[in-house]
Structure formats: C-alpha cells, structure tokens
Amino acid sequence: MPSNSLSEAAVLAGPARRRGHRFGDILFAGIAQASGLFVLGLLGAIILLLFLGALPAFRAEGARFLVSAAWNPVTDHYGALVSVYGTLVSSVLALLLAVPLAFGVAYCLTELAPGWARRPIGTAVELLAAVPSIIYGMWGFFQLGPWVAAHVQPVLTASLGRVPGIGAVFEAEPGNSSLFVAALVLAVMVLPFIAATMRDVFLTVPVMFKESAFGLGCTKWEVMRHIVLPYTRTAVVGGIMLGLGRALGETMAVTFVIGNTNRISASLFAPGNTIASLVALEFPEADQGSLHLSALLALGFLLFVISFVVLAVSRVLLRPRGRN
C-alpha cells in the first residue's frame, strides 16, 4: 500500500514538476534575451549620442574633417587626420612588437617550460594586465623614453636611417616622447591579453593530434605550424583583435609618452598624438555646446568606427574558406 501511494504521488507531482521546469526555462530565456537586448540597446545609444554630438563638427567641416591636419580651437578649425594617423600607427606597431613576444610566451608555457615553472611564469604575465595604465605611462615617461632616446634611436638612425626609401622612418631629433615609445608601452600593455589567450587555446588542442604528428617525425615547430595553429586559428586571431582594441583605446599611458603634438611625420621617433590622448587633454577645456566639444565627440565617434571596422575585418578573415 505505501508503494502504491508513492507511485500515485509521483504521478500527481509529474505535471507540477513539468510546469516548474517550463517556468524556469521561460524565465531563464527571458533574462538571457533581455540581457542581450540591453547590451545591444546600450551600444546603439552610445553610437547615437556620439553621432548627434558630432553633427555640428561634421556640418561645419564636412569631409575636410577626415582629411585635414588642422586642429586649432582658437579659430575653430578641426581635422582628425593627425590623431587618426597616430592611433593607427601606434596600435599597429604595438601589435607587430607584441604578437611575436606573446606567441613565444604562450609556446614556452605550453611546450617548453617545465611543469613547476609554468604557473609562476603564467601568473607573472597575467599580472601585467593588472598594472594601472597610469603606471605604464609614468614608467614610459621616466624610464623607457630616455632609454630609447639614448640607446635605441641613435643606433637605428645611424644604421637604418641611411637606407634609401626607409631612412625617413628612423630619422628625427632626439626626444623622450615619440610614436615609437608609445608603441613600446602599448606592446607591453597588450602582451598579457594576447599571451594568455594563446596559452589557453594552445592547451585545448587534443594531445592525440600532437602525439600523432610527433609519431610521424614532425618537429615541435612543424607540430605548432601544421597542427596547433590551424586548430586554434580563430581564437588566436580573436586574442590579437582583443589586444588591438585595447591599444586603440588606451588613453593615459599614451598621453604620457607620445608627445601630444598635432603633426604628422614619417619618422617613428617624432612626437604625435592619438584620438584618445587628444580627447583626454582637451575635453576639460571644451565649453558645453561649443564646436570644440563637438569635434572631440566626432573623434570619439571615429574611434568607435575604427574599432568596428577592425572587428568586421577580423570576422572576414576568420570566415571558413569555401563558404559564401
């Protein structure tokens, strides 16, 4: 009799349990959809507010805003060319310096370093991401900049500065602030993000794949090139794009070391500015409703567009081959 009672109770509780599960599923789906829509709406609101704030500058300058090197708050003439140039050059150069180092760190941690050393080294690399950007800026201004001016720039100027065609890239007056120093600081700042991503995705490669390649006589580099990198290509490029996004929007560290000069120079050792550094320096001085403030908002909108284009290009590069 008790067993029959339990069976009847289970039968009666079944519909209630199913109704509870359905309610939980509906609640979870609603929360997830609301979160996604909230993020999408927040992103759209930011873009819209930036665009509306930038409209007076776009109307006043027109297409010249994108191609003009002028930036004069006194005469109310503004152009984004110098800051866009500095943003792109410093960020791309930072990636060129950081990606090989990040790959070397990730490869060492996953394939070469002994087991007892992997955790301390990995923790030390990840701690670089926790250092405040202003600390990087102070280090770059007081230590890295003078060291580059005293030891790196003279060597490159004396050697590569005389090579026809590329000599102008390395010729400049000695100075502690430059695009090159900004790129070095950015490279150190984005290194932990890219290295940590590469390390984590390298560890996801099935051991059987690598052991099979070693059994066929492949070297470690051949296994990395033909097995690990193709298997993790999407995540590796995603980590690099994450680092690029970090470099594009960095403000305080770059402001310390880039020189903040509104001038385009072919030399990497010349001072310049970026969108973020220019906005950080002049935003407190811009009057509410002025064309100056509108031009700064227009720079912010352009930085948003550049970041979006970078993301779109990365998506295209990651598209599977042979798929329309």
Query: pLDDT digit string (tens) for 261-303?
Result: 888 888 889 998 999 999 999 888 888 878 999 999 999 999 9
pLDDT at 323 over 60: no
* Tens digit of each residue's pLDDT (9 = 90 or more) over 226-273: 888 888 888 888 888 888 888 988 888 999 999 888 888 888 899 989
What pLDDT does residue 6 have? 45
Tell me the average pLDDT across 45-73.
Answer: 89
- Calculate what percentage of the chain has a pLDDT beyond 70: 91
Q: What would the mean pLDDT of 199-207 be, rounded to a whole number?
A: 88
Question: Options 1.10.10.10, 1.10.3720.10, 1.10.510.10, 1.10.10.60; which CATH number does 81-317 get?
Answer: 1.10.3720.10
Taking each helix axis from N to C terminus, what angle separates 233-249 and 81-107, rounded to the nearest 10 degrees?
140
| Biggest CA pair distance of the chain | 100
What per-residue confidence (pLDDT) applies to 110?
Answer: 87
What integer pLDDT is reported at residue 235 of this predicted model? 84
Categorize the per-residue pLDDT at 139 as very low, low, confident or very high, splitting at 50, 70 and 90: very high
Mapped to the 3 state alphabet, what secondary structure does 235-260 carry?
HHHHHHHHHHHHHHHCCHHHHHHCEC
Residue 145 to residue 23: CA distance in whole angstroms: 61
Tokens of 156: 């490159």
Residue type for 89, please?
A: V
- Tell me, what's the pLDDT at 48? 92
Radius of gyration of the chain from its Cα atoms, rounded to whole angstroms? 26
- Tell me: pLDDT of 320 over 60: no
Q: List the chain domain ranges.
A: 1-61, 81-317
In the prediction, which pLDDT does 316 show? 73
